[in-house]
Amino acid sequence: MEAFCIAVALVGLMYFAYRGWSIILIAPLFAGIAALASAFGVLPTYTELYMTRMAEYVKTYYPVFLFGAVFARLMEKGGLAAAVAGKIVEVLGEKRAVLAVLLGCGALTYGGLSVFVVAFVMYPFGAYVFRRADIPKRLLPAALWMGIFSFAEVSLPGTPQIQNIIPSSYFQTSTWAGPGIGIFASILFVAIGWGWVSFRAKRLQAAGEGYGTHTEGRKRREPKIKIPWYWAAFPLLMVIVINVVLSNPFHWAWGYHWSEDALTVFAPLHLTLLAEKVGKVSAIWSISVALIVSSIAAAWIGRKRFIVMDGFLAPINYGALSSAAAALNVASGYAFGCVLTTLPGFAPVTESLMGLAQSFGPLVSAVVTTNIMCGITGSASGGMTIALSALGDQWMQMALAQGIPLEALHRIVAIASVGIDPVPHCGALVTLLAICGLTHSDSYGDIAICMALKFFVPYLCILFFLLTGIC
């Protein structure tokens, strides 16, 4: 009966999320349904388990959502993001339209912009070059997805996206962990996106299908003040440089070192969510400082546009408010998954996954488990956090016992989180299709093919690591 309730809760959450219901509302409701047949009780499960896990997630990762959203909004409204994207599209041109979209998305994502902001910024540029190259518009969401939600989000070393930060709080690594594996995976991701979308474009064009007749919507009035692309790219570069200096992943003598006893002063307060070690939060601190300083730089560079528009306060407030909704969305999915994995009825699944680790090692177990959880929640960050909460400690101990660097484990888990994340009920996917003005029936087929191809990337990364020893 417990397994039945868990299945009903899981299917119900996926269905209603796909239908557009807010996960903030439905996640606790279905968590209660999952607990109906257990000894936990519905209301105790909600207030003591669900809300505690939700609070843990918000406490740990909300600074990244907050400062990242403000930085992204300043880059967007200041015209800096559009200037960088426009330069990439201009250089590559319509003959390399697919590559232009991939690299444009990748540059903005790696520079620290929110993935949703990247989608909004890159869509008009992608639509423009696809129209000029007469590539069917229904292929655009697949190109945008592979540019935003793959190599720049999880595999490029140092990426400031939350999916690359989460493993650091479990393994005490930095966002620059596993650079060799990360670069290898990035090449595979770009090859998949560029190869498949280009292949499909040629096939469809040969069959007589072009961009199509699509209404792109009324363009917003923008100030005529233009930002030189090199100045616009400066805050993106600052995020990367400040992050690498503060996180000091390569243990440079001149690099910054966070004090090991920085949390000691809080011990007498008996704070229930206090981090055990500085290593679990230093990556959050590093990227937070990088985003704050870079936001100031972005505001200064785009100051003329802000002065003739709404000023600085409106975009900053908008970014701050939107960050709360984004954080609660992910935290709700995470808390729901934590309830499921904690219930006794889920124990056979956990035992099977641990058995997989015993048979094939922690890396394979990490990939399979992370894929399952991300597929369930439709969220790379939420699913990854659930997987790490359930089995992260066991993977870490097994990796240390087998001589596997935690940096390699960090990177493999991050890469695995985008294996099957674009399931139909994925909130980011629904948002992306809405931005493009397309539907699942229009574009999901090509996204699904890309998903099937990139599903094998983490396994190839494991093979790469085992054959070369490069981390």
Q: Please provide the DSSP assignment of 318-356 as one string.
A: HHHHHHHHHHHHHHHHHHHHHHHHHSGGGHHHHHHHHHH
Cβ neighbours, 10 Å, residue 335: 28
Check if the beta carbon of residue 18 is closer than 8 Å to that of residue 424: yes
Asked, for residue 220, whether it belongs to a domain, the answer is no
CA nearest neighbour of 81 among 233, 287, 225, 238: 233
Q: H helices within 309-439, ranges in order? A: 313-342, 347-360, 362-377, 380-401, 406-416, 427-436
**pTM score:** 0.85
Phi/psi for 330 (5° steps) reads -70, -40
Asked, for residue 310, whether it belongs to a domain, the answer is yes
At residue 220, the pLDDT reads 57
Asked, for residue 452, whether it belongs to a domain, the answer is yes
At residue 17, the pLDDT reads 75
Asked, for residue 213, whether it belongs to a domain, the answer is no
Check if the beta carbon of residue 64 is closer than 8 Å to that of residue 162: yes
Q: How many domains does the chain have?
A: 1
Contacts of 430 (CB under 8 A, 6+ apart): 18, 20
Which residues form the domain of 48?
2-208+227-468
Measured CA to CA, the distance from residue 82 to residue 226 in angstroms comes to: 10
Asked, for residue 216, whether it belongs to a domain, the answer is no
* Residue 51 host element (H or E): helix 51-77
Measured CA to CA, the distance from residue 42 to residue 13 in angstroms comes to: 16
Measured CA to CA, the distance from residue 224 to residue 309 in angstroms comes to: 11
Q: Enter the tokens of residue 41.
A: 């009780």
Q: Within the chain, which residues score under 70 in pLDDT?
A: 214-222, 425
* Residue 129 host element (H or E): helix 115-133
pLDDT tens track for 358-407: 888 999 999 999 998 888 777 888 889 888 988 999 999 999 999 999 99
Asked, for residue 102, whether it belongs to a domain, the answer is yes
Query: Any long-range contacts for 392-400 (C-beta under 8 Å, 24+ apart)?
Result: 392/170, 392/171, 393/170, 394/354, 394/357, 394/362, 395/357, 395/362, 395/365, 395/366, 396/170, 396/171, 396/362, 398/357, 398/361, 398/362, 399/362, 399/363
CA nearest neighbour of 209 among 218, 222, 221, 200: 200
SS3 call for 442: helix
Measured CA to CA, the distance from residue 236 to residue 231 in angstroms comes to: 10
Measured CA to CA, the distance from residue 135 to residue 308 in angstroms comes to: 37
At residue 385, the pLDDT reads 85
Asked, for residue 157, whether it belongs to a domain, the answer is yes
Check if the beta carbon of residue 303 is closer than 8 Å to that of residue 221: no
Measured CA to CA, the distance from residue 199 to residue 400 in angstroms comes to: 43
Asked, for residue 453, whether it belongs to a domain, the answer is yes
Helix axes 97-110, 234-247, angle to 10 degrees: 50
* Residue 289 host element (H or E): helix 282-301
Q: Report the Cα–Cα distance between both ends of the chain, in Å, rounded.
A: 45
